[in-house]
A and B are shown apart, each in its own frame.
Chain A
Amino acid sequence: MHNFEFVKPSSVADAVSALAGEGAQALGGGQTLLPTMKQRLAAPEKLVSLSGLAEMTGVSSAGGVMTIGGATTHASVAADAGAYPGLAGLAAHIGDPAVRNRGTIGGSLANNDPSACYPAAALGSGATIVTNTREIAADDFFQGLFSTALDEGEIITAVKFPIPQASNYQKFVQPASRFALVGVFVARYADGVRVAVTGASEEGVHRWSAAEAALSANFSAAALDGLSVAADGMIADLHGTAAYRAHLVKVMTGRAVAAAS
């Protein structure tokens, strides 16, 4: 790890100004960033820690929307997001206890790892990503592997999740990392069903619109029977072929529908 300066601001405004300088980078739980720095793959000159900011932590629900501060840990979401069980369940199965006690929702979404769990929940819920400058719809936020709509120095301060009638996340783990080899988030709203898939595609998290249409008409696993997922564009690696991932997308979607509550 290279040397760096460490800043712990006491407000979002201070954090934003600290991030304005050259070479500054936001630090959430550090569960992605610190290992990268240890491997010398990243060498920010200044880390601006967001984890102590009260205005960015906590879970609250009002008017059918759950708002989660951008610096809220996975463990807090697992414990406090009971009003949205699909989301709490997802958070409870990210990494291990150490990761969940440090890692944050803002860090996970900003990182947009193609195998991460939260992007599926955000996209599958049609969430709104709130930053220090604007609000971004999840449909516009994720822009391919490790890439998002965030500008340089822009901070995710909160995420707003419309609470669905029923939801579930099915994660088929990659045996080594235990990230999602394929993960599918299904959420049923009054105006339709959303299905978001992570881990599978070379384009990163995405919606499966054919399944959304079928499930909006008939919310049961059987509704998927006639559908198939193309292997084109699916990730192929040591842990699974493209065809296998395509197959898993359908299996996991069916299981998520069956388990949705």
Chain B
Amino acid sequence: MPDGGIGASSKRREDLRFLTGRGKYTDDINLQGQAHAHFVRSDVAHGRINSIDTSAASSMPGVIRIFTATDFEGVGGIPCGWQVTDRFGEVMQEPKHPILAEGKVRHVGDPICVVVADTLEQARDAADALVINITPLEAVLDMKAALAEGATKVHDDLNSNLCYDWGFVEENREAVAEAINNAHHVTTLELRNNRLVANPMEPRVAVGDYDFSTDEHTLYTTSQNPHVIRLLMGAFVLGIPEHKLRVVAPDVGGGFGAKIYHYAEEAFCTFAAKTIGRPVKWTSTRSEAFISDAHGRDHVTKIELALDENGKFLALRTDTHANMGAYLSTFAPSIPTWLHGTLMAGNYTTPLIYVNVKAVFTNTVPVDAYRGAGRPEATFQLERVVDKAAREMGIDPVELRRRNFITEFPYATPVAVEYDTGDYHATMDKLLQISDHAGFEGRAALSKANGKLRGFGIAHYIEACGIAPSNLVGQLGARAGLYESATVRVNATGSISVMTGSHSHGQGHETSFAQVVADMIGVDENQIDIVHGDTSKTPMGMGTYGSRSIAVGGSAMVRATEKIINKAKKIAAHLMEAAEGDIELKDGQFSVAGTDKSVAWGDVTLAAYVPHNYPLEDIEPGLEETAFYDPANFTYPSGAYGCEVEVDPATGKVTVVAFSAADDFGNIINPMIVEGQVHGGLAQGIGQAMIENCAYDDQGQLLSGSYMDYAMPRADDLPMFTVDHSSITPCTHNPLGVKGCGEAGAIGSPPALVNAVVDALQRAGHNVTHIDMPLSPDRVWAAMNS
């Protein structure tokens, strides 16, 4: 076996181009004759558009055309990909999401019109000459107030600002209430999961092109899933059939969820390119990204945990208001429901659970999946309330968790999912070891001597990755299937191109995917290229999100490679005049069992394409296979996280002094890449817990609309991480036994951090039971001094 393969920390081959500035991103694409689009966006949160006067602007130098909503009459709105059914069996309220605002603007950043000009500066100059008359309306911001009788409506044609009132499992509602009413102890916690802006390093870009000779449209875009964009935009917005629409997502500089969705700018550039007969390009500025990329999180929750006298969890009830923003982004309705409610059991045997979620429209940027998507919100409230319960009942937080851990698998939770494998005691043991939990008191004493308050916080998470069995999500309201595809194309000389429906935007697929195929065939991984991100090259794929790529995309690749190996064995059998059943493949050599006869991989691949001596009567020439893989279940990564903080009592400043993560990701393809994914996830989770805060004022103006006020985590905000993924319970239902690792860090870290700060403050005698994220110094100081 050549070096590399499954389990090797192969260096990321894509880094050569990324780190030397040779990546090819969408903004690097410049087409002959391209025009530039500048979006004119609302600067009020809510208002009625009285008039748009384009006359002066239209005659400005370089202006090609100014588009308003009237240009899109007869064109569909931006579709939502998931329909949730509420507690009463009614489908959610689903407002139209026009490409350009029709009649009303509904959030700061809502696009009103677009100036297309020869240069971007000309487009911006002309935009300054537009006369747009808007009557501001009251902004709907607070979710609870938005649901009050007589509240101003974001969408006049809907009954109210309530998108849906979801209950899960509705049949358990009464039983849960009864268990809580009769319990020995009930711990209650009210909290907010703060709104975040994803801020991928590369802002969004779209370039639309149209070829009159072939009637073909091409959209280059910063997407995590080009086929999904082709489907949504082609079928629901612009009415372009798939064979006339190509969507390319080349190198993409980070997504974190915000680049899953179909956005108005993509449809606009595709539409406008045909209208004006020239390619049209739009590149988001960072300021625009803050008010037009989908935001994340933004839940307000009350959670109650009922326990018996021994600390056994009896029932759990949670009541959440989830902000949808002004319109429904592509997957928005599914995040607080199916990606959130189904995780409320966590790692515990709680027999009765009821989750209520009210999704609410407000005059803010739409909210959708952001690294973790629903699972961080579930984990945060659960791990916070468990910690609070431990403190209230005087039980050690580790011990309380252990008393309630699920230990037998498969385990069917009361919230409709079945965990296939896991070993939570093992990850907890590992965490206590790698974090030197036993040595904490000594470190706390040292901190105290230095005038600092030290605390240790634990969280144990479960998440559901590898989204998802298509028949299941179809029942739950998904308007798409969630399989993945791969084509393995073996070339005549034995080199291999793998066309995957997964998309890599920083995850290192070009390296780890090649390792899998190399391992299966026994060839050098450098003989294998991973091709992705172009609907004209890869089979219909659903893209990358929800830590699904190796679990679902990787499995499709395994299935296609198995087909390749089966066929290659037939060819090898023919070449060696042996029975097919006797052929073995090892290290890229086919041999006949029990003999010294063998042929090399390259001999077989050559025979496939130069079939002079070939079983033409039995099989076709060529060596190319496609597989679509639809998973049987979600995968369930889990892990124990430990955070150690020091609080400066004079200023409230929190310093994360240590962070340890003990994860069970199932089998590992490339340990280095997995560790990197955990590091990134931890940075984002710690960012959310410590400093990131997307905040609006009472007029609906974004207070943190730039890096001057929106704090991104930087290296010096973070400690060195201790990461371990040696606790492995392989997934039982996918061929690689993998579970996925992309989001875990962001899911498990916020509650660990908040638990650590509460621990530090309580050890110092402060009666603080909760502080809402981000735990900025002023909030911590206020909590200590209230």
A238 touching B651 by the CB < 8 A rule?
Answer: no
Query: B696 → chain A, closest Cβ, in Å?
Result: 10
Q: Which of A69-77, A194-202, A240-248 is the contact stretch?
A: A240-248
List B contacts of A3 (CB < 8 A). Answer: 121
Query: Across the interface, do B651 and A176 meet the contact criterion of CB distance under 8 Å?
Result: no
Which residues between 739 and 786 of chain B lie within 8 Å of chain A, taking CB atoms?
776-778, 781-782
Set of chain A residues within 8 Å of B124, measured between Cβ atoms: 40
A229 at the A/B interface (Cβ < 8 Å)? no
Q: Does A39 contact B (CB under 8 A)?
A: yes
Q: Report chain A residues within 8 Å CB of B776.
A: 175, 239-240
Inter-subunit contact A240/B778 (CB<8 Å): yes
Q: A residues within 8 A CB of B782?
A: 241, 244
The CA of A251 and the CA of B778, in the complex, are separated in Å by: 13
Q: Are A177 and B778 in contact (CB under 8 A)?
A: no
**Residue in B712, B778, B781 whose beta carbon sits within 8 Å of that of A239 in the complex:** B778
Is A175 a contact of B695 with CB atoms below 8 Å? Answer: no
Instruction: Tell me whether A176 and B778 are in contact (CB under 8 A).
Output: no
What secondary structure prevails in chain B residues at the interface with A?
Answer: loop
Residues of A within 8 Å of B717, CB to CB, are: 175
Contact of A244 with B781 in the complex, beta carbons under 8 Å:
yes
A189 within 8 A of B: no
Closest to B781 in A: A244
- Residues A244 and B778 in contact, CB atoms below 8 Å apart: yes
CB distance from A54 to the nearest CB of B (A): 34
Q: What CA separation (Å) do A164 and B124 show in the bound complex?
A: 51
Query: For residue B125, which residues in chain A have a CB less than 8 angstroms away from its CB?
Result: 2
Name the CB-closest residue of B to A96.
B714
Answer whether residue A208 sits at the interface, using C-beta atoms and an 8 A cutoff.
no
Least Cβ distance of A251 to chain B in Å?
A: 5
If A244-B778, A244-B782, A251-B650 touch, whether A238 touches B708 (CB-CB below 8 Å) is: no
Chain A, 29-61, contact with B by CB distance < 8 Å: what is the 0/1 string? 000000000011000000000000000000000
Q: Could you tell me if B651 and A177 are in contact, using CB atoms closer than 8 angstroms?
A: no
Q: Which of B693, B695, B708 contacts A177 (CB 8 A)?
A: B708
Given A175-B691, A175-B711, A176-B709, A238:B704 Cβ within 8 A: yes
Q: C-beta contact mask, B639-654 vs A, less than 8 Å → 1, else 0?
A: 0000000000011110
In this complex, what residue of A is CB-closest to B652? A244
In contact, B708 and A176 (Cβ under 8 angstroms): yes
Minimum CB–CB distance for B585 against chain A, Å: 54
Interface pair A176/B650, CB less than 8 Å apart: no
Closest to B127 in A: A40
**Residue in chain A with minimal CB distance to B693:** A238
Query: With A238-B695, A239-B776, A251-B650 in contact, is A176–B781 under 8 Å at CB?
Result: no
Does B409 make an interface contact (CB < 8 A)? no
Known: A40-B124, A177-B708, A244-B778. Contact between A172 and B693, CB under 8 A? no
Does B287 have its Cβ within 8 Å of any Cβ on chain A? yes
Q: Are B778 and A241 in contact (CB under 8 A)?
A: yes
- Shortest beta-carbon distance, A162 to chain B, in Å? 31
Q: Are A176 and B704 in contact (CB under 8 A)?
A: yes
Q: A40 vs B38: C-alpha distance in the bound complex, in angstroms?
A: 14
Closest A residue by C-beta to B653:
A172
With A and B bound together, what is the CA distance between A247 and B780 in angstroms? 13
A177 close to B709 (CB less than 8 A): yes
B691 contacts A177, CB within 8 Å?
Answer: no
Q: Is the CB of B711 within 8 A of A176?
A: yes
Q: In the bound complex, do residue A238 and residue B781 qualify as a contact, i.e. CB atoms below 8 Å apart?
A: no
A116 CB, nearest partner CB in chain B, Å: 13
In the complex, chain B residues whose CB is within 8 Å of the CB of A240: 776-778
Least CB separation from A251: chain B residue: B650
Q: Are A176 and B691 closer than 8 Å at their CB atoms?
A: yes
Complex CA distance for A172 and B711, rounded to whole angstroms: 15
> A3–B691 Cα gap in the complex (Å)?
37
B777: chain A residues at CB < 8 Å are 172, 240, 244
B609 at the A/B interface (Cβ < 8 Å)? Answer: no
What are the residues of chain B within 8 A of A2 when measuring CB–CB? 121, 125
Q: Report Cα–Cα, A94/B691, bound state, in Å.
A: 20
A243-259 contact mask (Cβ, 8 Å, vs B): 1 or 0: 01001100100000000
| Listed residue (B124, B710, B711, B778) with the most chain A CB atoms within 10 angstroms of its CB | B778
Q: Name A142-190 residues within 8 Å CB distance of B.
A: 172, 175-177
Q: Is A172 a contact of B651 with CB atoms below 8 Å?
A: yes
Task: Say whether B707 faces chain A, with CB atoms less than 8 Å apart.
Answer: yes
Asked if B56 is at the interface of the complex by the 8 Å CB criterion, the answer is no
Residues in A with CB closer than 8 Å to B708 are 176-177
The answer to whether A39 touches B287, judged by C-beta atoms less than 8 angstroms apart, is yes
B703 CB–A CB distance under 8 Å: yes
- In the bound complex, what is the Cα–Cα distance between A251 and B451 (angstroms)? 14
The winner among B121, B128, B651 for most chain A CB atoms within 10 A is: B651
Q: For the complex, what is the distance from the CA of A39 to the CA of B290, rounded to whole Å?
A: 14
Q: B155-190 vs A: 1/0 string, CB under 8 Å? A: 000000000000000000000000000000000000
Rounded to whole Å, the gap between the CB of A242 and the closest CB of chain B is 10
Q: How far is the CA of A247 from the CA of B708 in the complex (A)?
A: 23
Contacts of A40 in B (CB 8 A): 124, 128
The complex places the Cα of A175 from the Cα of B781 at a distance, in Å, of: 15
- Would you call A238 and B707 a contact (CB within 8 A)? no
**Residue of B695, B710, B711 most packed against chain A (CB within 10 A):** B711
| Minimum CB–CB distance for B751 against chain A, Å | 20
Closest B residue by C-beta to A1: B121
A176–B777 alpha-carbon span in the complex (Å): 13
Docked complex: A201-259 residues within 8 A CB-CB of B: 237-241, 244, 247-248, 251
Give chain B nearest CB distance to A96 CB in angstroms.
10
B123 shortest CB reach to chain A, Å: 13
Which of B128, B650, B652, B710 neighbours the largest number of chain A CB atoms within 10 Å of its CB?
B650
In the complex, what residues of B have CB within 8 A of residue A176's CB?
A: 691, 704, 707-712
Q: Can you name the residue of chain B whose Cβ is closest to the Cβ of A177?
A: B708
Nearest chain A CB to B300 CB, angstrom units? 18
Shortest distance in angstroms between A133's beta carbon and chain B's nearest beta carbon? 34
Q: Residues of B contacting A172 with CB < 8 Å? A: 651, 653, 777
Contact (Cβ within 8 A) B651 A251: yes
> Given A39-B287, A238-B695, is A248 in contact with B651 using a C-beta cutoff of 8 Å?
yes
- Nearest to B714 among chain A residues (CB) is A178
Q: Report whether B703 and A177 are in contact in the complex, using a CB–CB cutoff of 8 Å.
A: no
Q: Assess whether B781 is in contact with A247, with CB atoms less than 8 Å apart.
A: yes
CB distance from B450 to the nearest CB of A (A): 14
Q: Which residue of A lies closest to B651 (CB)?
A: A251
- Could you mark each residue 271-299 of chain B with 1 if its beta carbon is under 8 Å from any beta carbon of chain A, else 0? 00000000000000001000000000000
Cβ A238 vs Cβ B287 within 8 A: no
User: What separation, in Å, do the CA atoms of A2 and B651 have in the docked complex?
Assistant: 43
CA distance A172 to B125 in the complex (A): 40
Distance in angstroms between the alpha carbons of A164 and B717 in the assembled complex = 33
Whole-angstrom distance between the alpha carbons of A129 and B519 in the complex?
A: 70
Closest beta carbon of chain A to B699's beta carbon, Å: 14
Q: Which residues of A contact B704 (CB under 8 A)?
A: 176, 238
Beyond A39-B287, A244-B781, A247-B781, whether A238 also contacts B650 by CB under 8 A is no
Whole-angstrom distance between the alpha carbons of A87 and B652 in the complex?
Answer: 27
Query: A18 to B650, alpha carbons, bound, how many Å?
Result: 51
Residues on B with C-beta less than 8 A from A237 are 703
Closest CB of chain B to A103's CB: distance in Å?
15
Cβ–Cβ < 8 Å partners of A241 in chain B: 778, 782
Q: Which 10 A-B pairs have CB atoms at the shortest separation, nearest pair first?
A: A176-B711, A175-B711, A240-B778, A244-B778, A175-B691, A177-B708, A251-B650, A176-B709, A238-B703, A238-B695
20 contacts between A and B (CB under 8 A): A3-B121, A40-B124, A172-B651, A172-B653, A175-B690, A175-B717, A176-B691, A176-B704, A176-B709, A176-B711, A177-B708, A238-B693, A238-B704, A239-B709, A239-B778, A240-B778, A244-B652, A244-B778, A244-B782, A251-B650
Identify the B interface with A (CB < 8 A).
121, 124-125, 128, 287, 650-653, 690-691, 693, 695, 703-704, 707-712, 717, 776-778, 781-782
In addition to A1-B121, A176-B711, A238-B704, 17 A-B residue pairs with Cβ atoms within 8 Å of each other are: A2-B121, A39-B287, A172-B651, A172-B777, A175-B717, A176-B704, A176-B707, A176-B709, A177-B707, A177-B709, A237-B703, A238-B709, A239-B709, A239-B776, A240-B778, A241-B778, A244-B777
